[in-house]
Amino acid sequence: MYELVLTRKAQKFYQEVDASLAQRLNRCFDQLRQNAYEHPNIKRLKGDFAGLFRYRVGV
């Protein structure tokens, strides 16, 4: 199991979103905690962000 850490900006955004988006984000966070590397929405970043990943949540 992995630990999920949000930046301050991400925490502030998460606290201000409506309930339906917060629910979708919670599902994504749970998936990331279980296995942070094996999901179709997770991509490795390149260039200046090499070594980091992004997880796309449709809006």
Residue 25: give the domain boundaries.
8-55
pLDDT in tens, 4-57: 888 899 999 999 999 999 999 999 889 888 887 777 888 888 999 998 888 887
Q: pLDDT-based confidence at 59, cuts 50/70/90?
A: low
pTM: 0.71
The verdict on residue 3 lying in a domain is no
The pLDDT value recorded for residue 11 is: 95
The verdict on residue 1 lying in a domain is no
The verdict on residue 18 lying in a domain is yes
The verdict on residue 2 lying in a domain is no
The pLDDT value recorded for residue 43 is: 86
Q: How many domains does the chain have?
A: 1
Transcribe the chain into DSSP letters. -------HHHHHHHHHS-HHHHHHHHHHHHHHHH-TT-STTEEE--GGGTT-EEE----
